[in-house]
A and B are shown apart, each in its own frame.
Chain A
Amino acid sequence: MLTFIIRRLLIVIPMALLVVTVTWVLIRIAPGNFYSGEKKIPAAIEANIRKKYGLDQPWYKQYGMMMSNVIRGDFGDSLKYQGQSVNEIIIRHLPYSATIGVLAYLLALLVGLAAGTIAALKQNSLFDYGSMSIAMLGLSVPNFVLGPILILIFAFWVYVLPPARWGGISALVLPVITLGAIYAAYIARLTRAGMLEVLRSDYIRTARAKGLDERTVLFRHAFRGGIVPVVSFTGPALAGLLAGTVVVERVFAIPGLGNIFIQAVQNRDEPLILGIVAFISIMILVFNLLVDISYGFIDPRIRFE
């Protein structure tokens, strides 16, 4: 178990470096750079700046410098926000994204597990059809359509919630719902399918034959097997959630990491792009590891080699 974790953690670092390398190559082989945008800078000044950032060196030296910085966890200063280190910027903007992301996934888990379980228990009932149709709708309405429509209804027509920006719990409601909806839908469908399969299985029949009441059958015997698909979905969900925050932050004008990343990409702010990419890669890889470990707790048949 411990060796498994250590081995997997050792893979995380080269993987993150690989992602950073791919990103760096993409930025470098494309024509243009940070200085080719907006206003023209006098050639002499540009040369000076290039020297300062080591851009006058051959590419392999630049790559080496970049890598050694990344390995030390130092991404340098942002090009756009002069005098601010990339790490500072990430730490400053992360809480916004993290809050929305975590709340959205918790909401999705709560709604999805409950709806999926009830739908499975009352298969072919009105609740089953109703909740699964809503789930299908949730899968089909993109969050950048859902968000604005929610704003339209709750902020412009009925004035109950603020349309955008940060501040207070009420401002969190719409972004969290917008981001979480599609995952709630996914989880509800996965839970229903998983539960249906488990509820049909022989060991549930055994549990019933023992005289256990339905609640014990459900929570002690069926639930664990039923949520295995949900657990395996957590990895992809996290990656999707990160992409989702980009849109949601944009729709609701929240200064989160996603918004900063899009700006950085558009500005060709290389250190900031690399910093965010490395940070998010490591986060996703570590979360995937956590998901794999949690399998072991759910299903005793899984062994860690």
Chain B
Amino acid sequence: MDQALEDIKGASPWSDAWKRLLKNSLAVFGLIVLIVMILAVIVGPSIIEWTTGYTYDLVPAQHELVKAMPPSISHPFGTDDLGRDLLARVLQGGRISLMVGIISTFVSLVVGVSYGAIAGYVGGKMDNLMMRIVDIIYAIPYMLIVIVLLAVFGGPNTKALVTWIPQIVAGSLIFILGILLAVLIYRRMLAGFSSTAGLATQYPVKGLLIVILASALLGIIYLSSLAIGSTSLGPSLADWYGTNLSQGVSQIFLLFFALGLVSWLTMARVVRGQILSLKNQEFVIAAKATGVSPFMIIFRHLIPNALGPVIVYATLTVPAVMLTEAFLSYLGLGVQAPYASWGSLSFDGVKNLAIFPWQLIFPGVTMALTLFSLNFLGDGIRDALDPQTRKF
């Protein structure tokens, strides 16, 4: 009997899930491929440079220029039109593709989880408003806007966009502060209405004071950011950015921005749904009753319990974002030469499809294999975390 209880206690949901994941051979396959791919992408380019002298962009002088050579021992993936080693380029492209996937997903995680958790926890009118905003952004054909954004601000114009960074930062800060302020006022009003005596005295004075103070704070932040942006910080940032970072890299940051812009929406919805269903459960009510602060309730009780779907969705966001990046790079809007991503390499490959098919096949298959593994892993994690959907 005691033994049985021990067993029940010993199997935490996470170790249980991990065991189930390891039983799923496809997910394990995905995990292994992914680890190998990440290692190859991290150390591969250096090894190639060290042994042969080739980099993603450089044909070493001691070598004869061999343009568009088919795969061979010295160049396992062949070479491209300019005689560059395709393996080195594919690995370098993998760095960028994976980085874009992971960083953008991380951005969407941070924004989406906070937004969704606040909306779900606060509930009521606030929740309604916040979710309406998500709905509206959701309905926008974002791909068109991303294409326009990347096209008009891509290339030399990126510098102009950098000038705006102080304002953008201030803007998002004000956005977050605004939400917090609204929450605060809303709470105040609720507190004011719940006690009839407090309605007349407490609410108008204190509430008004908070509103005035907060709006003043917002105004100061915004004006100072404008001042800094227009006088020194913005342009100097742009100069620094323009001179220190090459064109290709700045375009990548634009990509993070564009992709992060769109992928947090679903995350926010997922988290909100979870929080809504969790917040009325006994353990949260118990925490509230014992006087735990809302902040602690959200971050210690609610988010950890909503983590399952979040992890699952994040794992599936990575391949989706990578696909979008590849798609934009394929259109010439993403990563710029001399850098490469799997998308832009595929585009280069398509140009010579009939004559040098390996130039498409190697980057294309590498990318497909990675996405394949990510998808399988994501599926595996979902099945492992949600035993109800297990294949019975």
Contacts and interface: CB of A to CB of B under 8 A. Distances in A.
Q: Do chains A and B touch in the complex (CB under 8 A)?
A: yes
Interface residues of B, number: 46
A250 interface: yes
Contact of A288 (B139, B161, B330, B376): B139
A3 B3 CA distance: 63
Contacts of A137: 368, 372
B388 to A, nearest CB: 9
Nearest to A277: B144
B234 interface: no
B331 A246 contact: yes
Interface of B is mostly: helix
A71 interface: no
B141 A280 contact: yes
Contact of A284 (B139, B327, B347, B368): B139
A19 B347 contact: no
A123 B391 contact: yes
A281 interface: yes
Nearest to B376: A136
Interface stretch (B9-17, B57-65, B222-230, B352-360): B352-360
A148 B359 CA distance: 11
A73 interface: no
Contact of A265 (B148, B161, B327): B148
Given A151-B353, A152-B353, A142 B144 contact: no
A124 B391 contact: yes
Contact of B368 (A141, A151, A193, A242): A141
B354 A144 contact: no
A32 B327 CA distance: 25
B371 interface: yes
A247 B327 contact: yes
A276 B145 CA distance: 11
Contacts of A145: 346, 360, 364-365, 367-368
B323 interface: yes
Nearest to B371: A140
A149 B372 contact: no
Contact of B353 (A148, A239, A242): A148
Contacts of A240: 143
A158 to B, nearest CB: 14
Interface in B42-61: none
Given A148-B360, A149-B364, A251 B375 contact: no
Interface of A: 15, 18-19, 22-23, 26-27, 29-32, 123-124, 136-137, 139-142, 144-145, 148-149, 151-152, 156, 193, 239-240, 242-243, 246-247, 250-251, 261-262, 265-266, 268, 273, 276-277, 280-281, 284-285, 288
15 contacts: A19-B144, A19-B145, A27-B148, A31-B157, A141-B364, A142-B326, A142-B343, A142-B364, A149-B364, A247-B330, A251-B350, A262-B331, A265-B151, A277-B148, A280-B141
Given A142-B364, A243-B327, A247-B327, 12 more contacts: A19-B140, A139-B375, A141-B364, A141-B371, A144-B326, A144-B350, A149-B361, A239-B143, A240-B143, A265-B147, A281-B140, A284-B139
